[in-house]
Structure 1
Amino acid sequence: MPFFKTLVVVVVFLLTAIVARAIPYNFNEEIKWNNVQKFTINGGIEISRLSFDGAYYPYFDTVPEFVKSYPIHTTNALVSCSLQNAVYESFSAEEQALLKDYSLKELSITPDCKLIVSRKQPYVQVSFQPIRWNQASSSFEKLVSFDLVIQVDDQPERDYMSRERINSALAEGDWFKVKIDRSGIYKITYQELQEMGFNVSANPKKIAVFGNGGGILPEINNIPRHDDLVQNPILVVGEGDGSFDPNDYILFYGEGPVTWKYNSVSGVFNFQSNYYDDYSYYFITVLNEDASRIQTIQPPTGQHDVVIDEFTDYAHHELDEKNLFNTGRQWFGEVYDFSV
């Protein structure tokens, strides 16, 4: 019997500990809506948009977002949030007119929440557009008050120090930096390497090119990325004799500062500008072992039955010359402010 009592106490304690890991945070919020906001930006463009105190506007959206951060007790948690006791009011005719082309007719609001850290303090950042579609009246309504419930599920402490520490590839050897302004195949000649100060008498089979491609780093922290320079497969023409001669050269594929990515859902290529640099960078060095090389594949044999005489190309013209508010990442090119 004493053993049974002890077992019951242990089980109850464990269940209590498990339940205690889920901690709700409750907040009461009110949204103070203002009159339609109207202003003119450079070039005489008139902007009208909905407005409330503390509104956040992604770019020039007509409908602002409610964005607010709430302090919690830990960074090791899974978080979720919901709106309760929501109170809505009708928009005015002027406000409804701004929403005539708004296509997201959601019957309820689903907030987005994510865990962030600012000055070592963990927060849950909550964001959503505070409007909904009322099917009965066939009109939009604005959220004026609500109770926000944030559920924080504690997770086991993660040992950040257990991650294997590595030395940067740049820690050893001599490195030579080259920059490129667009994606394509690049050729580096014997003479160009010599002008850089590169040791052209090195074994060409040990010549390596490192680089992590072009484009900007992901803004979301949990998207995987390389934590060091990555070696790229290259082709060194003339390395077979073990000597890098004046007629030998290096070929490698480099990705420029802007990127194109195919969207399989829409069936189009999306262009991503680079706000931070006009160039991508690659690094040349000599390793202690044979470097990575482009592999040779056998061409198909037999008679061909497909003839390709066309392909889909893409082009993009964008000059990041003007920022309307001198802040943020929204840039524009030529200003067409003349009349004929």
Structure 2
Amino acid sequence: MPLKWSFTVVSSHFSSVQASAIAEQALTANFLNQTLTLKTGSNYNIKQTIVRKLPFIIILILVFSFKSQIYSQSIILNRNLNWTKSVKKIKNEQINKNKALIYHLLRFKNANYASRKDFLPVYDELIALNSEKYSVELRDMQFVVLTSDEKKLFTKNQIPFKIEYDKEILYQRKAPHLSISVFPFKQNVQNGEIYKLTSFKIVLTEQSSSTKTSKTKSFNTLNSVLSSGNWVKIKIQESGIYRISFNELENLGISNPQNLHIFGNGGSMLSYSNEDEQPDDLSEIDILVKDNYILFYGDGTVQWKYDSLNQVFKQTMNLYSDYAYYFLSSDYNNGRDNKIKSELQSTDPTTKTITIFDDFAYHEIDSINLIKSGRLWVGELFDFQTEYDFSFNFPNLVAGNSLSLNSSLLARSPISSSFSISFAGAVFNSSFSSVSYDYIATYATHKNENFTTSSPSGDLINVKLT
């Protein structure tokens, strides 16, 4: 039962803690690759931070032409889902024709029920195009929370944490059409609330060769900053402020620490898209020079980004390097002032005092690639050892706030299997269906789940996986 974990614990004014995990199971070879992320609260005074929340999406089954708003090369189609009261559908069992099953269905106009076995509606639409070179985006999505009666028709395992949709280009009478299918429900990753889509826009943007060329950055650096002078290469692993004393710099071979210059692009992965702009040389990092040391901010190999759709922070590890590298020299001088200046204390009145903030931590070991291909790696082995414990220390943890464990589990086993997750005193179970060991079959079962409990007293968060 190989696993890959990622946990996030949150304790804040938002009363949220989040975590995510990915697990894999197999009968004989079981692995665990864990990532834990914990958010906590502490007493600090900081300026107010405003977080903007974004909405969600969906779609139907009709054929439309391009009678819509056109901005530049984009076509915008406004869509509304007109939800009605749930209806009853009676279906006879094949075993006993005299016995009938009654299904309650959520309904909107032109809803499609044929693509899912759980009788939840899907929005399908077929859109006529004048070219197959269009990108598709859903924008300005509006949602409403399910009513108490509607919630009875769901299990949370059915609902993804973001709107999911499929799209493909089809041809009818040699003319291209876009087929789009949207599942109009999503679940809040922190509190488990389920939302249904009410309106959205389909934005179609034509992808011409000239458009792609304009997005590609022209590389115009003739010589790298490393082409001359004496340079020292250092490595870091975590993001944060780093201090280097003048003595350490001199021992490294830096002749004039007062004139130090630092270059580097951080530890994040390059984009997989060739159209995205990429630096064609190392960027200079501003530094703070003190009496006998310098300070600089180094960007490590783990990046934290806010997922506005699910209202959580998520981490991304660099899959290709465990370290970020920076280059130091006192010989280089391009005339640019790289020193951080002191700023005067603001005299503006304090608008808000915040005493609780969100904090994060994670555990992840990427050591095993199950199919020896792709970017998914797992870690700890579940064979003779079938239990692992993890502890996370958060000073000044606010007791009683909501803690959320977001797990992404991957299981491979010819029979059904399960894990038990003990988190801050609560116990949760995660079950997996079996998979076929046929060569062309799906290799593993993948599930995303969210577990929520209350933060304990003290500074320690314990997680146990069995």
CA distance in 2, matches of 1:220, 1:232: 26
1:213 and 2:230 correspond? no
1:336 and 2:355 correspond? no
Contact 2:212–2:275 (CA under 8 A) maintained in structure 1: no
Greater relative contact order structure (CA < 8 Å, 6+ sep): 2
SS across alignment from 2:381: coil
1:177 and 2:233 correspond? yes
Contact 1:214–1:255 (CA under 8 A) maintained in structure 2: yes
Question: For residues 103 and 261 of structure 1, do their structure 2 counterparts lie closer, same or farther at Cα, with a shift above 3 Å needed?
Answer: farther
Contact 1:43–1:335 (CA under 8 A) maintained in structure 2: no
Question: For residues 251 and 259 of structure 1, do their structure 2 counterparts lie closer, same or farther at Cα, with a shift above 3 Å needed?
Answer: same
Contact 2:134–2:207 (CA under 8 A) maintained in structure 1: no
Question: For residues 304 and 42 of structure 1, do their structure 2 counterparts lie closer, same or farther at Cα, with a shift above 3 Å needed?
Answer: closer
1:324 corresponding residue in structure 2: 370
1:273 corresponding residue in structure 2: 317
For 1:199-278, list aligned pairs within 5 A: 199=255, 202=256, 204=258, 206-238=259-291, 248-278=292-322
Question: For residues 180 and 203 of structure 1, do their structure 2 counterparts lie closer, same or farther at Cα, with a shift above 3 Å needed?
Answer: closer
1:197 corresponding residue in structure 2: 253
2:340 corresponding residue in structure 1: 294
SS across alignment from 2:226: helix
2:358 corresponding residue in structure 1: 312
Question: For residues 181 and 97 of structure 1, do their structure 2 counterparts lie closer, same or farther at Cα, with a shift above 3 Å needed?
Answer: farther
1:198 maps to amino acid: I
CA distance in 2, matches of 1:173, 1:188: 20
- Give me the identity figure in percent: 34
CA distance in 2, matches of 1:174, 1:252: 20
2:358 maps to amino acid: T
Question: For residues 250 and 146 of structure 1, do their structure 2 counterparts lie closer, same or farther at Cα, with a shift above 3 Å needed?
Answer: closer
| 2:328 pairs with one of 284, 303, 317 | 284
CA distance in 1, matches of 2:246, 2:328: 13
For 1:100-115, list aligned pairs within 5 A: 100=117, 105-108=122-125
CA distance in 1, matches of 2:363, 2:260: 36
TM-score (norm 2): 0.39
Aligned residues: 217
2:370 maps to amino acid: L
CA distance in 1, matches of 2:119, 2:228: 57
Larger-gyration structure (1/2): 1
Query: Where is the helix percentage greater, Structure 1 or Structure 2?
Result: 1
SS across alignment from 1:193: helix
1:213 maps to amino acid: G
SS across alignment from 1:300: coil
Contact 1:208–1:291 (CA under 8 A) maintained in structure 2: no
Q: How far has the Cα of 1:270 moved from its partner? A: 1.5
CA distance in 2, matches of 1:293, 1:259: 25
1:325 maps to amino acid: I
1:4 corresponding residue in structure 2: none
Question: For residues 292 and 267 of structure 1, do their structure 2 counterparts lie closer, same or farther at Cα, with a shift above 3 Å needed?
Answer: same
CA distance in 2, matches of 1:263, 1:163: 32
SS across alignment from 1:225: coil
Which ranges of structure 2 fall in alignment gaps of 5 or more residues? Answer: 1-23, 29-72, 74-93, 95-112, 137-166, 178-205, 387-465
Contact 1:43–1:337 (CA under 8 A) maintained in structure 2: no
